[in-house]
């Protein structure tokens, strides 16, 4: 990976982390369960938009292969999940809750894997579809 790719993956990993923490805080402060659900859906929607923009950027601008695009997009998502796992561990330790310490420690490995695998599949399918659309557009534009 070149420096620009690493920077992009790191930056978007941080974006996913910030979205998770900020929207999680809003959800925690919601006055109702509907409000909590709305904040969680908003976090998913914003993260999905970032994920889609990353795929479009890598396919349309950087012209990377669908497999490499999926690897980069899923790596950024996994990095965000790792950040959230760290935050969950720090928070639990800070409030002195010990009953789920082992599960939270395992989350440092499980959350990124649980995020990266489906993210890779979704990004690969999306990148292939974007690739086909770009080729179709180039063919119709040349006629």
Q: Structural domain of residue 91, as residue ranges?
A: 3-142
Residue 136 pLDDT: 87
Number of domains in the chain: 1
Q: Which residue has the higher pLDDT, 119 or 105?
A: 119
pLDDT tens per residue across span 29-66: 999 999 999 999 999 999 999 999 999 998 877 788 99
Q: How far is CA 40 from the centre of its chain?
A: 14
Q: Which residue has the higher pLDDT, 6 or 64?
A: 6
Number of CB atoms found within 10 A of residue 58's CB: 24
pTM of the entire predicted model: 0.89
Here the contacts of 19-25 (C-beta below 8 Å, separation 24 or greater) are 19/43, 19/46, 19/47, 19/50, 19/80, 20/47, 20/80, 20/83, 20/84, 20/87, 21/84, 21/87
CA dihedral 23, 24, 30, 33 (to 10 degrees): 110
């Amino acid at each position: 990976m070149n420096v620009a790719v690493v920077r992009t993956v790191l930056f978007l990993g941080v974006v996913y982390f910030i979205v998770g923490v900020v929207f999680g805080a809003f959800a925690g402060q919601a006055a109702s369960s509907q409000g909590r659900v709305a904040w969680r859906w908003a976090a998913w929607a914003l993260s999905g938009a970032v994920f889609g923009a990353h795929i479009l950027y890598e396919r349309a601008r950087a012209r990377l292969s669908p497999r490499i695009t999926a690897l980069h997009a899923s790596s950024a998502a996994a990095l965000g999940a790792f950040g959230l796992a760290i935050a969950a561990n720090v928070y639990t330790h800070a409030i002195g809750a010990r009953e789920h310490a082992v599960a939270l420690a395992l989350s440092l490995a499980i959350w990124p894997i649980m995020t990266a695998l489906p993210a890779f599949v979704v990004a690969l399918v999306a990148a292939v579809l974007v690739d086909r659309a770009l080729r179709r557009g180039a063919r119709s534009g040349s006629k």
